[in-house]
Structure 1
Amino acid sequence: MQVLKRLMKFISPYKGKFYFLIFLTVALGILAPARPLLIQITLDYFVALGDYHGMLMMIAILTGLLILQAIVQYLHTYLSGWLGQYVIRDIRIQLYKHLVNLRLKFFDNTPIGRLVTRTISDVETLADVFSQGLAAMMGDLLQLLFILAVMFYSDWRLALISLSTLPILLLSTYIFKEKIKVAFNEVRNAVSNLNSFVQEHITGMSVVQIFGSEHREYEKFKEINQGHKKANLKSVLYYSVYFPVAEIISAAGIGLLVWYGAKGVLHETVTGITMGKLIAFIMYIQMFFRPIRMIADRFNTLQLGIVSSSRILKLLDNDEHIPNNGSHTPDHIDGSVEFDKVWFAYNEGDHVLKNISFTVKPGETLALVGATGAGKSSIINLLNRFYDINRGTIKVDGESISNYELGSLRSKIGVVLQDVFLFSDTILKNITLDNENISQDQVLHAADLVGARKFIERLPGGLDYNVMERGSTLSVGQRQLISFVRAMVYNPKILVLDEATSSVDTETEELIQQAIDKMMKGRTSIVIAHRLSTIQKADKIIVLDKGEIKEIGNHEELLSKNGYYTQLHKMQYKEII
């Protein structure tokens, strides 16, 4: 009920249609028992008395009733489906909006396949809750109540005989409901495991093939798929047992009714039972037991939806997002950066940055060097507020970055990562990311600036060339140049380069280094590089080791200290030799 209450909030924008759906549900409940009642009247008062014209009149009324019921049923089915689709659209939008604002730590700890299941499969299941579950179940319950009322009003004796098998049906329905609930939970978990496995292994297919692990991964997939099959077969088994049992119980009820009623009609041992009433009660009992069987099925659909809803709401309740309470939105910044006694840990207590303090003046170039895991990338993650610091202060132009509006802060910082991610779309869309404020002229100007325009214009379609998933149709250097253009179209005052040349060959590195030199002019730059030759011109170099600053100075100053930087320099020199 708690989950349903929260789901009802998503219906509030469509209150008018929802109330109309309730009206249609009530109308269907009233119309259902009207047909047997009219048939009883027709048989007992017109057919039995040979009133041909009266019978024709009743047939006309019955035809009109059937047409009306068909119209109401159509409206009810369409409106419940319409409402379901609009609600899940809103939920999916809200869910995706929530996801894109979660901090990166959440994505570090959550399998992508699981998030895909939540956003696609689980949300889709909710559509069934509205179209086949909630509204339909309400209609079935109302129909049962109206049928019961008419049955007891018509003849309480036949009503009791008809319902004598009901306790057995209710017991079997309850057992079925509990069993299928467990089975559906297993099915959802199996689907989530399948999605996670397939997504991860298709993404990492090159690793699988490089290490000849195709057969082992295939066996793993077979095992997970086997679990999925078992979970589904368990639910199939429960369905295949329940519905025949329910049919037998329903038939037993009809058998008892016919035995008792026919005896009353033929031998007149029971007063007040007519042929019309007996036929009407046979219809009543069929109409009564069918919704009970359907309610069990609807309830399972509802339970499956509740399981999915619980997972979706749990994701929506996740508050692992970067607080965006800042109101500072300057049109222009000078580009000074200051870290003051900054401590940071991805996992509580395990600090990857310890007491980091440094200042970068506007227009200066800062280089960060150190072994893998020293904390270089963590510094730029904190500057962009992908993560929040534990202690200390980070300032841009003398203002704490927590006081900046998040979008404004990030728009002032251009980031080029080592691992360039391109979406399956055109080059233009990959550069602008659908930002309507960026014109094609701005894109071409930025491409000119970094030396990428020539290779883009040589591609079929130019800016409209589709790079395919992750930019697979482009070389590493071309992808890197596009990432440079993507950063430069915003004309950022602070430029961050995270090992931008570490994955390319020497010739391509020279081309990219020329682009980097152009990009860095007049901008505050923070550069991470393994190749020390690329940062020798930096105004300031910080040497990091295990999250601590060991040395600060320019290239010549650090070499003269004969410390950490000198050791790194000698090691790279040996590698070159």
Structure 2
Amino acid sequence: MRHTGRRLFQYATLFKKPLLIALLLLALAVAAELAGPFIAKQMIDRHILGIEKPWYETTSATQTDKAVPHDGIYYKRSDNFAAGEAKGKEVRIVQVGGQFVFIEQPIAFDGARKLTGGKLTITQGTEQAEYTAKKLSIQELYTFYEPEFNSLMKLAGLYLGLIIIGAAFTYGQRYLLQAAANRIIQRMRTDVFAQIQRLPINYFDNQPAGKVVSRITNDTEAVRDLYVQVLANFFTGTIYIVGIIAALFVLDYRLALFTLPIIPMLYAWIIVYRKFASRYNHEIRERISSINGMINESIQGMTIIQAFRRQKETIQEFEQLNDEYTKYQNKMLSLNSITSHNLMNVVRNLFFFGLIWYVGGSSLNSLITVGVLYAFVDYLNRMFHPMVGIVNQLPNLERAIVSADRVFELLDEQGIDVANGKSERYLGNVKFDHVRFAYKEGEYVLKDISFEAKQGQTVALVGHTGSGKSSILNLLFRFYDVNEGLITVDGRDVRDMPKQLLRQHMGIVLQDPFLFTGTIASNVSLDDPSITRERVEQALRDVGAAEMFASLPQGIDEPVIEKGSTLSAGQRQLISFARALAFDPAILILDEATASIDTETEAVIQAALDVLKKGRTTFIIAHRLSTIKNADQILVLDHGEIVEQGNHDELMQQLGRYYQMYQLQQGHRETASSAEAEAKSGV
């Protein structure tokens, strides 16, 4: 958590200016909001309940200095007298139930009040006092309150102004916070996607595509919730709680001390929750990644699933993953239900009950005014509100931390920086010198491979499946590095060359070509600005595909959807050929490039290859031996070793493994040709 939290903080510091401004606006919003109860206290204690303060006769005859006429005599409240101003006889106005009475003398003490006829009785403990009281009419009561109306309206206006200002500050801080969060996640997703480009091919051999996609999309979105929701609530809540506690101490330190146990209680709450939630969320994120991986695989293999009637088994596999995901989601639901805001509300109500008992059963009862009690209850309500918000965000916090762990795990994978710049086109002299290689430690798939390909030569690799043909080309491309031995290009160790610069002058055509969403032209150029339109068209002409694509409605601007599923296998392969040739490679690799092409398209490609191979070192992996008869070298591989080496004629004269393979293929072809002739003659 500490390591992950530090890295999340480092991302936040990239956009610290809007975040700091947001926190400043938040502090101002909290200050504006917390001033409200103090204003309410002033309105209640001074201007509403202040009517019960002592009143004195005054010689003032105007209301400009808050003098009030009653029965021909002017009275002024004690706190409205100026310093040194003379005071006359003291009188009091007291509320009894819903009535207000006028008493023409001071009150010795306050307590329980009872009005009987024209007599007011006040009882405090064993003491009792009786006073002659006169009920005030509504008009008379209004006269005594009238001097306070102006001040009340000013305070009410101030209260409303603070609400508006607080709302404006709150809007500003939320906008800036969310905008900064969006930019943080934008940066994080860019970093994750860039990291994918740096990872070696063997990483993707062991990771389903759906799981990788889940980290870029689902996990980063969960991290976004951390900045937008979790941190916003935690920051807001913390500032509110600190501000409210400070306000409570200003209001009444004795009541403030009563609320302090809430803080350690909240901290313990968070610790206990995270202990269980972390484990559940790890399982949930792992299950959702597995579901994404399984869905991606099912979509990719839908043709096979339906052709072999595996829909039912596939659904069962999905349901098993979905059930496991739901099981852990339900565990999280139970945990959240136990520790939800409802429990926080119970704690709040218990504190209110304790407050009533504490105040009612102590000497504070006579020392705390109604305004102070109102402000305290208001502050206590306000303090529990952010605490509820914090508790409600704990599930999002755990989900975000787990997701961030997964994102940083991907970012921490060992990768290679993409090299900038360009390298001079090399000649294409390739040499393998006693090369040994294993995908898994100790299980060598290439054993002591040595050969040399000169510039402009064509080298063909043949052998049974698993003999090591593709592994040789994987090493040449540096998708993997050798365990032992040396591979050189123009005499230079390929491990001393940045991978991107090594591959800059290599072209490859796979048995199953991959096309990207776009157009035929964009799939040839891969949107490389150095590949001009004319160069694209020339490459298509060189592979004999120009006329084929010219017949399409939009020509080479015909849209290509994902993987080129609307094009035939031959058309996709021709685009792949043109793509390799458009980049003018010094080394051209054909990995069973003609295996999935019909005979007519293969003839077109073979005719183009004789021209295209000039000046290039070409490596061909082929099962159809008829396509490599003109190769300068043919390497026959068996279990990772070169068992025969030479050109077609030399290998045929050896009467070895290559001879047997060639004769076997020729026999199949002769049999097929005879069957075709018989079918045409109607035999």
Please say which of residues 453-462 and 20-29 is displaced more in the overlay. 20-29
**Higher helix proportion, which one?**
1
Q: 2:160 aligns with which of 63, 68, 77?
A: 63
Paired AA for residue 26 in structure 1: A
Q: 1:256 aligns with which of 330, 354, 357?
A: 354
Q: Call closer, same or farther: CA 1:324–1:151 in 2, change over 3 Å.
A: closer
- Residues 262-285 of structure 1: CA distance to partner in whole angstroms, max 9, x if unpaired? 778xxx862321111111111111
Query: Residues of 1 paired with 2:601 and 2:637: CA distance?
Result: 28
**Cα displacement (A) at 1:420:** 0.6
- The within-5 A match list for 1:118-133 is 118-133=215-230
Normalising by the residue count of structure 2, what TM-score does the alignment of the two structures yield? 0.80
Q: Which residue of 2 aligns with 1:349?
A: 442
Normalising by the residue count of structure 1, what TM-score does the alignment of the two structures yield? 0.94
Q: Call closer, same or farther: CA 1:2–1:172 in 2, change over 3 Å.
A: closer
Q: Which residue of 1 aligns with 2:486?
A: 393
Contact 1:181 1:300 in 2 (8 A): no
Query: Residues of 1 paired with 2:417 and 2:226: CA distance?
Result: 34
**Cα displacement (A) at 1:316:** 0.8
**Cα displacement (A) at 1:541:** 0.6
- The within-5 A match list for 1:175-324 is 175-241=272-338, 242-258=340-356, 260-261=358-359, 270-319=365-414, 321-322=415-416
Q: Call closer, same or farther: CA 1:333–1:183 in 2, change over 3 Å.
A: closer
Please say which of residues 289-298 and 228-237 is displaced more in the overlay. 228-237
Query: Residues of 2 paired with 1:545 and 1:208: CA distance?
Result: 33
Structure 1: 5+ residue stretches without partners: none
Contact 1:84 1:126 in 2 (8 A): no
Contact 2:30 2:166 in 1 (8 A): no
Q: 1:378 aligns with which of 467, 471, 474?
A: 471
Q: Which residue of 1 aligns with 2:518?
A: 425
Q: Call closer, same or farther: CA 1:398–1:166 in 2, change over 3 Å.
A: closer
- Residues 376-406 of structure 1: CA distance to partner in whole angstroms, max 9, x if unpaired? 1111111111111112221112222223333
Query: Residues of 1 paired with 2:609 and 2:563: CA distance?
Result: 23
Contact 1:44 1:274 in 2 (8 A): yes
Query: Residues of 2 paired with 1:405 and 1:184: CA distance?
Result: 40
**SS of equivalent residue, structure 1 residue 378:** helix
Contact 2:587 2:617 in 1 (8 A): yes
Q: Call closer, same or farther: CA 1:448–1:61 in 2, change over 3 Å.
A: same
Q: Which residue of 1 aligns with 2:531?
A: 438
**Cα displacement (A) at 1:153:** 2.8
- Residues 280-326 of structure 1: CA distance to partner in whole angstroms, max 9, x if unpaired? 1111111111222211233332222111111111111110x357789
Query: Residues of 1 paired with 2:291 and 2:448: CA distance?
Result: 44
Q: Call closer, same or farther: CA 1:522–1:73 in 2, change over 3 Å.
A: same
Query: Residues of 2 paired with 1:163 and 1:257: CA distance?
Result: 13
Instruction: Tell me: higher relative CO, structure 1 or 2? Use CA pairs within 8 A at least 6 residues apart.
Output: 1
Query: Residues of 1 paired with 2:418 and 2:165: CA distance?
Result: 55
Q: Which residue of 1 aligns with 2:200?
A: 103
Structure 2: 5+ residue stretches without partners: 51-144, 672-683
Q: 1:573 aligns with which of 646, 651, 666?
A: 666
Q: Which residue of 2 aligns with 1:22?
A: 23
How many aligned positions are there? 572
**SS of equivalent residue, structure 1 residue 343:** strand
Q: 1:115 aligns with which of 212, 220, 245?
A: 212
- Residues 395-422 of structure 1: CA distance to partner in whole angstroms, max 9, x if unpaired? 1122222233332321211111111111
The yes-or-no answer on 1:38 pairing with 2:133 is: no
Please say which of residues 176-185 and 190-199 is displaced more in the overlay. 176-185
Contact 1:322 1:385 in 2 (8 A): no
Q: Percent identity?
A: 37
Query: Residues of 2 paired with 1:11 and 1:156: CA distance?
Result: 37
**Higher strand proportion, which one?**
2
Contact 1:363 1:523 in 2 (8 A): yes
Contact 1:28 1:143 in 2 (8 A): no
Contact 1:103 1:386 in 2 (8 A): yes
Paired AA for residue 308 in structure 2: F
Paired AA for residue 318 in structure 1: E
From the CA coordinates, give the structure whose radius of gyration is larger. 2
**Cα displacement (A) at 1:86:** 0.5
Paired AA for residue 554 in structure 2: G
Query: Residues of 1 paired with 2:425 and 2:268: CA distance?
Result: 72
Contact 1:180 1:300 in 2 (8 A): yes
Contact 2:550 2:556 in 1 (8 A): yes
Q: Which residue of 1 aligns with 2:657?
A: 564
- Residues 415-448 of structure 1: CA distance to partner in whole angstroms, max 9, x if unpaired? 1111111122211221222212211111001111
Q: Call closer, same or farther: CA 1:492–1:32 in 2, change over 3 Å.
A: same
Query: Residues of 1 paired with 2:282 and 2:502: CA distance?
Result: 43
Contact 2:435 2:484 in 1 (8 A): yes
**SS of equivalent residue, structure 1 residue 114:** helix
The yes-or-no answer on 1:542 pairing with 2:639 is: no
The yes-or-no answer on 1:138 pairing with 2:235 is: yes
Query: Residues of 1 paired with 2:12 and 2:256: CA distance?
Result: 39
